[in-house]
Chains A and B, each alone.
Chain A
Amino acid sequence: MLSYIDKIKEISIRLLKECRVEMVIGFRKGTVPMMNEPHFAKSPEDVENFVWDSNCGINLCNYLTNRGEKIGILAKGCDSRNIVTHIIENKIKRDQLVIIGVPCKGMIDKRKISAMFEGEIGEVIENENNITVKGDGFEKTLNKKDVLQQNCAICIHRNPVIHDELVGDLVEEQIDVDRYEDVREIEALAPQEKATHFEKLLEPCIRCYACRNACPLCYCPTCFTDESRPQWVGKGQDPTDVSTFHFLRAYHCAGRCTDCGACERSCPVGINMRVFTKKLEKDCLELFEWEAGLDPDVRPPLDTYRPGDPDEFIK
C-alpha cells in the first residue's frame, strides 16, 4: 500500500496540469502519529505533501457534498461506495469527479495501538506488513493485521467500486468474513438487556457530534439535533437524549451506510456506535438484498417500492 504514493502524486500532478480538476483531495501527514489529515491540492506544487499509509481512515467523500467545481479524489473501497451514494443522492455529479481508486488493505486502529503502550507514542513507522511503534523507552513491532480497525478487518469491498484512475493493482477481496457477529449477539438479548447494553455503551458520550461531522452521509444543512423549533431531542447528558441521538442518526443512515468506520474513528471517547448502523446494514441485506453504494444506477430500497417487499410485520 505504501508504494501507491508515487502513482498518486503522478496522477494528481497530471490532472492538475491538464486542468481536468481544480483540486485533488487526498491526505497529508498529521501533526501527531497515526493521524493523517485531509489535504486539498490545488496546484501541482501542493501535491508534494500527499502521503498514503495505513492512517488514511478518514472518509474523503465527506468533502464532496454540494461542491460545484471539478474534483479529483482519492477513494478507498468504502470512500468509493460513499461517492456512489453521493451521486445517487444528487450531492455531486459524476462528471465533476475524477475518482482515483486506491485498493485498500485496511487502516490501523490508533486507539488499539495507543492502548497497548503506557507512555506517549512518538513515532510510528510502517512497512508493507508491520508497524513499528516508538516512544519514550519502548519500541515494538506489530503485525498490521492484528491492529486493523474492526470495520477494516471485516471489510468485503476493499477495491473501489467506481474509479477513473487506479494507483495500483486491485487487492484480493476478503471472503468468508462474518460481518455481523456482534450484531447477532445484541439481537439475542432480551429487550431490557438491550436497553441496559446500549445505555452502558453510550454512557461516555459527550455529545460532541464528531461522529456526525465525520460521516459523509450526515450532510443535512441543519441536523435534527441542532434544531430548536421544535426541539426533537434534548441537548444534555440525559441517557434518553444521548440514545435518541445515536438511534436516530443511525436510522438516517439506513440503506446508505457503507461501514467506513469514520464515526467510530472520530469519536474522542471511543464509542463503537457502528453497532447501530451495522444492524440496519444487516437488515437491508437480509430484507432487500441491498448493499449501499455499489451501483449508481440502482435506486436504494428506501426510495423504491417492489411488490415483493417484506410486509410480515403488518398484522
Chain B
Amino acid sequence: MGIEPDRLQFSWVSSAEATKFVQVVTEVTRAIKDLGPNKNLVKTMPKVA
C-alpha cells in the first residue's frame, strides 16, 4: 500500500516481560522517528462539511 515496512511492527510481549516491552517501544519509536512523518494515506483535500 506504499507504507514503509518499518512503520508496522508485530511483537509478542508477555505481561511479565516489562523490559522487553520497553525495549520494543523504544526501538519502534526510534525507527518511526527516523522515517519521519507519514505522507501517504493522509487526506489532502479540504474538508467541506
Do A and B interact with each other, yes or no?
A: yes
Query: Taking the nearest CB of chain B, how far is it from the CB of A275, in angstroms?
Result: 12
| Majority-rule SS of A interface residues | helix
Query: Taking the nearest CB of chain B, how far is it from the CB of A133, in angstroms?
Result: 39
Choose among B2, B9, B40 the residue that contacts A315 (Cβ–Cβ < 8 A). B9
How many Å lie between the Cα of A118 and that of B43 in the bound state? Answer: 39
Kindly identify, within residues 226 to 240 of chain A, every residue whose CB is under 8 Å from any CB belonging to chain B.
Answer: 234, 236-240
Q: Is B10 a contact partner of A198 (Cβ separation < 8 A)? A: no
Residue of B nearest to A315 (CB): B11
Excluding A195-B2, A234-B43, A236-B45, 20 further A-B contacts by CB distance (< 8 Å) are A191-B3, A191-B40, A192-B2, A192-B40, A193-B2, A195-B1, A196-B2, A197-B2, A236-B48, A238-B43, A238-B44, A238-B45, A239-B45, A240-B44, A241-B43, A243-B41, A244-B41, A314-B11, A314-B12, A315-B9
Q: Is A313 a contact partner of B44 (Cβ separation < 8 A)? A: no
How many Å lie between the Cα of A240 and that of B44 in the bound state? Answer: 8
Residues on B with beta carbons closer than 8 Å to the beta carbon of A191: 2-5, 40
Q: Is A315 a contact partner of B10 (Cβ separation < 8 A)? A: yes
Most buried by B among A238, A241, A244: A238
Residues on B with beta carbons closer than 8 Å to the beta carbon of A238: 43-45
Residue of B nearest to A196 (CB): B2
B16 within 8 A of A: no
Q: Is B45 a contact partner of A237 (Cβ separation < 8 A)? A: yes
Q: Is A239 a contact partner of B44 (Cβ separation < 8 A)? A: yes
Q: Is B1 a contact partner of A198 (Cβ separation < 8 A)? A: yes
How many Å lie between the Cα of A315 and that of B42 in the bound state? Answer: 27
Choose among A193, A197, A240 the residue that contacts B41 (Cβ–Cβ < 8 A). A240
How many Å lie between the Cα of A193 and that of B9 in the bound state? Answer: 21
Q: Is A314 a contact partner of B10 (Cβ separation < 8 A)? A: yes
Residue of B nearest to A279 (CB): B1
Q: Is A240 a contact partner of B43 (Cβ separation < 8 A)? A: yes
Kindly identify, within residues 195 to 209 of chain A, every residue whose CB is under 8 Å from any CB belonging to chain B.
Answer: 195-198
Residue of B nearest to A195 (CB): B2
A247 within 8 A of B: yes
Query: Taking the nearest CB of chain B, how far is it from the CB of A45, in angstroms?
Result: 52
Residues on B with beta carbons closer than 8 Å to the beta carbon of A192: 2, 40
Contact sample, A vs B, 5 pairs, CB 8 Å cutoff = A191-B2, A191-B40, A234-B43, A241-B43, A247-B1
